[in-house]
């Protein structure tokens, strides 16, 4: 009987710790995304105001990934930005991310607010478990300069030089431009 009780307590406790672990990882994902989003927005605003969109594209080309890696290192998680219509091939989605992004599109069509579109799952890859989290990135007015359908011809030329396979244009305000994606290895 005693053994049974100990086992029960063990299972309850491990379930509780597991749920706690998930919550901690959810919070960590959210705070990492917030840090990256704030940093990227601030950097973009500054360079747009100081040097204009062409310089901003040259800057984004390198700086966006540098800032992303810096924040990933600080917080000790994997984080990236990705999309179903990509500009930079370094931001390519994997299969799990393609599924989540497609579901975000369906959820938006079904009336969900784009600001609330997020998804999390414990996902196994090659026998390793990961906590994965994604949050949609909305298209705002400022994004249209470089992701809209009326891109200035000099800017369009610069973009085509840097990204010959660019698909990240023709977006409208309120579209899902892409998503942040976080991946945290779980201890087995």
CB of 159 to ligand HEC, least distance (A): 7
Closer CB to ligand HEC, 37 or 186, in the complex: 37
Residues at the site binding ligand HEC, with contacts judged by CB under 6 A: 44, 53, 56-57, 60-61, 64-65, 81-83, 86-88, 91, 137, 139-140, 142-143, 145-147, 168, 177-178
Q: Is 128 exposed, middle or buried (0-12, 13-18, 19+ CB in 10 A)?
A: exposed
CB of 73 to ligand HEC, least distance (A): 17
Closer CB to ligand HEC, 29 or 53, in the complex: 53
- What is the residue whose two structure tokens read 């892409």? 178
Contacts of 174 (CB under 8 A, 6+ apart): 114, 138, 139
Name the token pair of 46: 């500054």
Residue 135: name the closest of 90, 106, 177 by CA. Answer: 177
CB of 55 to ligand HEC, least distance (A): 8
Closer CB to ligand HEC, 89 or 187, in the complex: 89
User: Which sign, positive or negative, has the C-alpha torsion 13, 15, 20, 21?
Assistant: positive
Name the token pair of 6: 């100990």
Closer CB to ligand HEC, 131 or 171, in the complex: 171
CB of 85 to ligand HEC, least distance (A): 7
């Amino acid at each position: 009987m005693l053994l049974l009780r100990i086992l029960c307590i063990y299972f309850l406790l491990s379930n509780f710790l597991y749920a706690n672990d998930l919550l901690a990882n959810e919070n960590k994902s959210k705070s990492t995304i917030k840090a990256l989003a704030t940093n990227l927005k601030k950097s973009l605003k500054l360079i747009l105001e100081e040097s204009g969109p062409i310089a901003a594209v040259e800057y984004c080309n390198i700086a966006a990934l540098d800032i992303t890696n810096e924040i990933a290192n600080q917080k000790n998680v994997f984080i990236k930005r990705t999309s179903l219509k990509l500009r930079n091939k370094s931001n390519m989605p994997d299969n799990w991310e393609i599924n989540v992004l497609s579901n975000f599109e369906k959820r938006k069509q079904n009336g969900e607010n784009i600001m609330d579109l997020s998804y999390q799952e414990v996902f196994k890859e090659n026998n390793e478990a990961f906590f994965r989290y994604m949050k949609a990135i909305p298209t705002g007015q400022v994004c249209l300069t470089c992701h809209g359908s009326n891109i200035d011809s000099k800017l369009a030329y610069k973009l085509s030089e840097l990204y010959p396979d660019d698909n990240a244009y023709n977006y409208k305000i309120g579209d899902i431009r892409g998503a942040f994606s976080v991946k945290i290895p779980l201890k087995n």
